[in-house]
Amino acid sequence: MEQQCWITTEPLEIEEVTKRVIRREAGAVNTFIGTVREFTKGKRTLFLQYETYKEMAEKKLEQITKEIDQQWPSAEVAIAHRIGRLEITDIAVIIAVSTPHRNDSYEASRYAIERIKEIVPIWKKEYWEDGEEWIGDQKEVRPGVPLKEEIK
């Protein structure tokens, strides 16, 4: 079986992620694609740099798929997140969810992206025309990049 959750430095391909959840009993496939936007809070972004503790991040992505399985037992989920330097419009994350009916697919997809921002150790540094800053975690509530030893 192919890996359902992964972190990579390579550009993400939508079909590579969605093909992992397509199945005969699924009447809905929802794909969330998170991209790098040019403006954040009125500042022009030049590019982003994502970093992670890869082993822990992949474990946390797997945890999210298990949580989804508990709430939506008929869901099949695949998640890919890119790290490294990403340019404007590059794809940072792809979440694909298949379910027999569309509502569960939408709900599980939304749940996945919110949980990624809450628990997956991925940090971003924003580069602007007038400077740069580590934003911290993806919910932007913890500044800076913690040491690997701080992640438990």
Which residues have C-beta within 8 Å of that of residue 86, sequence separation ≥ 6?
36, 47, 48, 49, 50, 92
How confident is the model over 66-98, as pLDDT tens digits?
Answer: 999 999 999 999 999 999 999 999 999 999 999
Residue 15 domain flag: yes
How many domains are contained in the chain? 1
Residue 151 domain flag: no
Count of beta carbons in the 10 Å neighbourhood of residue 78 = 25
Q: What is the model's pTM?
A: 0.89
Question: What's the pLDDT at 141?
Answer: 57
Which residues have C-beta within 8 Å of that of residue 144, sequence separation ≥ 6?
123, 134, 136
**Bridge partner residues of 135 (DSSP):** none
Residue 57 domain flag: yes
Residue 147 domain flag: no
How confident is the model over 59-68, as pLDDT tens digits?
Answer: 999 999 999 9
Range of the domain at 18: 5-134
